[in-house]
Amino acid sequence: MKHIYPLSIIFSIAVLVSACSAAPAVPTVDPVDVRNTAVAAAETVIAQTLAAIPTATPLPPTETPTETPSPTNTPEALPTMDATFTTIPPTIAPQTTVDPCSTRILSSSPKGRETTIHIINTVKTRVTVSVYLNETASWGECGYRSYILGPRDNVLITDLVQGCYNLWAFNSDPENPVNASGAGCINNSDKWTFEILSGNIKFSGP
């Protein structure tokens, strides 16, 4: 048994040696070929990398903003109200009191202290003269009278009483028109004068 073990080892070594001698020799590699192969592989990788990059899609053009008009104030709708109408009776204006003296004829014998009035027409045409006596404080006498005076005419009135008088003189003559007025207060029994002019009536005392 001791002799078999070494023999088997020797036999195994011989087989291995023969096998190695029978195997083909490994060819040597040219460094230039290795470099060219590496460059070609690198170029291929670069080309594939560029092909994999997505192409840039151009962005759509941006619209130029236009000026937006300012908002306007929209009035709010007013609430609808149920209106209740009430009929109001019309206001009746108070009746004005008519002066009784404006429509009263001055009597031929008025109450009061007597006086004399002289009316002179200085114009060259006939006139109508209205003599109005304001109400006297003591006697309550008032009213009016009318006289017609010719050109340059006059009248002396002796049945009148002391008080304040208003006189109007007028005519309808287009060539010599007269529209005159005047007033005066008499406080004694002497003669007082009203002088008719074309534009006014002049009052003078005794």
How many angstroms separate the CA atoms of 25 and 145, rounded?
175
Give the model's pLDDT for residue 44.
60
The CA-based diameter of the chain, rounded to the nearest angstrom, is 207
List the chain pLDDT tens, one digit each, 206 residues.
Answer: 444 445 444 445 444 545 444 444 545 555 555 556 555 655 565 566 556 555 555 555 555 555 555 555 555 555 554 544 444 555 555 556 667 787 899 988 899 999 999 999 999 999 999 999 998 878 889 999 999 999 999 999 999 999 999 999 999 999 899 999 999 999 999 999 999 998 999 999 98
Domains in the chain (CATH in brackets) are 101-204 (2.60.40.4150)
Give the model's pLDDT for residue 155.
96
Give the model's pLDDT for residue 198.
87
Which contiguous run of DSSP H or E holds residue 148?
strand 143-149
Report residue 20 CA to chain centroid gap. 121
How many angstroms separate the CA atoms of 1 and 6, rounded?
9
How many angstroms separate the CA atoms of 193 and 204, rounded?
5
Give the model's pLDDT for residue 4.
47
| CB within 8 Å of 79: residues ≥ 6 apart | none
Q: Is the pTM of this model over 0.75?
A: no
Give the model's pLDDT for residue 181.
95
